[in-house]
Amino acid sequence: MFRYILKRSSPFRGAGLILVTFGIVLIVKGLYYSNTHMRSYDVVQKNVSNLLLGDINIRAQTNYTSSTTIRQERHDPILPVCEIDHKALKGREQITLTSQSLISLESMFPESHVGGRFQPKGCKPKSRIAIIIPFRDREIHLKIYLSNVIPKLRRQNADFTIYVVEQAPGSHFNRGMMRNVGFVEASKIADYDCFIFNDVDSIFEDDRNIFRCGRDNSVRHLVTGVDVFDYKLKYSILVGGIIAFTPAQFRKVNGYSNFYFDWGAEDDDIYYRTERENMVIERPEKNSTIGFMSTLKHTRDPEAQYRFNILHSRTNETSHNDGVNSLKYTVKMVSHKKLFTWIYVSVDEDEVLKGLDIRIRRKIAAYRAKTKKT
Ligand code: UDP
Ligand code: BGC
């Protein structure tokens, strides 16, 4: 065959060579992809709830199972490393407060991959980011978050996937625990090298505030000023709103404490964890608007005063036994939506709190009796 082609006149010979080369490239690429470039994950949906999230109404069903296959594509190794085009950044912008339906948001971002992954085109990202949002009953905030944050991160040329970790009814909301769950579950789906924990009501205003993790012992808090605190931080060790940890950093502090149900202090607690592990908090440049953050209005949950009893009882030892390594939850459902991966979990609050000193548990019981809020 080769000899036959080579014997023909030169234009015919050229075309034949191109065809043969093309065939070889296809075979090699096919083998390469089937071995390394496509990994499949089957996610089984369990105990589907009757939760209404955004525009998607999932009806209660029992013994419902279905599989979603996620294809993880790696980047072609010959691509150049993605750089940020600083000229494409817009700087500080006012937050848009219009809440659009999920369907219209999805059509705004047709480039997203299933599960809410956004990838830069034509280059190899320096980092693969998971954004973890603790969530319950904040659908409007979520839509506002998506419509504001996705365009900014696209301009940063980031490779990111948004995870919404929703706590099912039956226990008081636990922000730290939902973040821990996000860390563990997202790590099962892909190899992220940066986790950014972002409250759904906390929107960064300035796209020069690059979503990335710090190096070594530097944990990045991406906020220098909050609108409701006059664009300052309420106190210097505040690390709420948006914070970035590499997996190694997060494991070193053992993630968030699982003990803070109700409002407040899980962020203070993780600050002390970083301090005890000799880590430092770095923030965007001061004296600029880069680290400014807007918050979305909502009815404020009552401050749980007992949180200080937990906070002040924490030591290196308690933190080493309370966090990612002691996390207990039930995944009720995982759904790979167009703009985010939704993880729906339930928590046995009484079981978790058994890990606390009896005196603190009594304080919590007294608080519950007073507020009678579930
Ligand atoms: N959150 C939620 N539902 C709740 C309480 C909290 O989704 O009922 C999540 C949400 O991501 C929110 C974050 O936890 O942005 C922080 O809680 P909250 O907004 O109540 O705190 P604040 O902003 O008032 O300090
Ligand atoms: C709470 C924190 C909260 C901060 C700012 C503190 O009293 O414990 O969780 O982030 O106030 O609102």
Question: Which pTM value belongs to this model?
Answer: 0.83
Give the closest residue (by CA) to ligand 1 atom 23: 201
Helices (H), 221-338: 247-252, 266-276, 307-312, 316-321
User: What's the CA-to-centroid distance between 199 and ligand 1, angstroms?
Assistant: 6
Contacts within 8 Å (CB) and 24+ apart, 233-237: 237/268, 237/271, 237/281
Q: Quick check: CB of 200 below 6 Å from ligand 1?
A: yes
Give the closest residue (by CA) to ligand 2 atom 9: 264
**CA quadruple 160, 161, 162, 168: dihedral, nearest 10:** -150
* Bridge partners, residue 225, by sequence: 292
**Homologous superfamily of 38-373:** Spore Coat Polysaccharide Biosynthesis Protein SpsA; Chain A (3.90.550.10)
Cβ proximity of 181 and 322 under 8 Å = no
Task: Give residue-wise pLDDT tens across range 152-203.
Answer: 999 999 999 999 999 999 999 999 999 999 999 999 999 999 999 999 999 9
Ligand nearest to the CA of 266: 2
**Residue 361, Cβ neighbours under 10 Å: how many?**
17
- pLDDT level of residue 5 (50, 70, 90 thresholds): very low
What pLDDT is attached to residue 40?
A: 25
Give the closest residue (by CA) to ligand 1 atom 12: 199
DSSP 137: S
| DSSP-assigned letters across all residues of 315-350 | -HHHHHHSSGGG---EEEEEEE-SS-EEEEEE--HH
Task: Give residue-wise pLDDT tens across range 75-126.
Answer: 566 899 999 999 999 999 999 999 899 999 999 999 999 999 999 999 999 9
